[in-house]
Copies of this chain bind each other. A is one copy, B any other.
Amino acid sequence: MTAEKLNSTFFYVLEKSIKTYRQMAQRNLAQEYGAITIDQLLVLQAMKDQPELTQQQIALVVFKDYASITRIIDLLVRKGLLHRADHPTDRRRFELTLTRAADDLLQQVHPRILKNRKIALSGISEEEIAIARKVLAKITENCS
């Protein structure tokens, strides 16, 4: 496989696009809101949307490993964005609630996230996006 072939491989293009997007998004976030990562925001948002989720369910939603979720939540607690308390009925679990600071942060970053997506998708038609979405969903299905 030559470098040209590598560059033209579909999965190379795929990796490159998601990495470039993440870099752009992370850079923009860091400039405006300091030391928060996209992954941390994703977890926070998931917990805000569905507070009753277990950590394992959160892992599924944000498409991460259980171990990663444990560590991200640790960080969020240390940063004062999550409050961790005993779960009332299941002592294996914790009751995690977003702090006021987390709510504020999510509200603040929301427009930035929308703007990032808009930048990334500009100049692409709805129809093309729909097809790309279908292709990506099919890949996920094929690899599952």
What is A's interface to B at a CB cutoff of 8 Å?
1-3, 6-7, 9-21, 23-25, 42, 45-46, 49-50, 61, 63, 110, 117, 119-124, 128-129, 131-140, 142-144
Contact = CB atoms under 8 A, between A and B. Distances in A.
Q: Which of A42, A134, A142 has the most CB of B within 10 A?
A: A142
Q: Which of A24, A25, A135 has the most CB of B within 10 A?
A: A135
Given A17-B136, A120-B143, 12 more contacts: A3-B61, A9-B117, A11-B18, A11-B117, A13-B140, A18-B18, A20-B139, A20-B143, A121-B142, A124-B135, A128-B131, A128-B134
A17 B122 contact: no
Contacts of A123: 138, 142
The 8 A-B pairs with the shortest beta carbon distances in the complex, nearest first, are: A24-B143, A17-B136, A132-B135, A20-B143, A132-B132, A17-B139, A17-B140, A20-B140
Given A11-B117, A49-B2, A17 B137 contact: yes
Contacts of A12: 63
A3 B50 contact: yes
Contacts of A16: 63, 136, 140
A84 to B, nearest CB: 22
B134 A122 contact: no
13 contacts: A2-B49, A6-B46, A11-B18, A11-B117, A13-B140, A14-B136, A16-B63, A18-B18, A20-B143, A121-B142, A128-B131, A129-B135, A132-B136
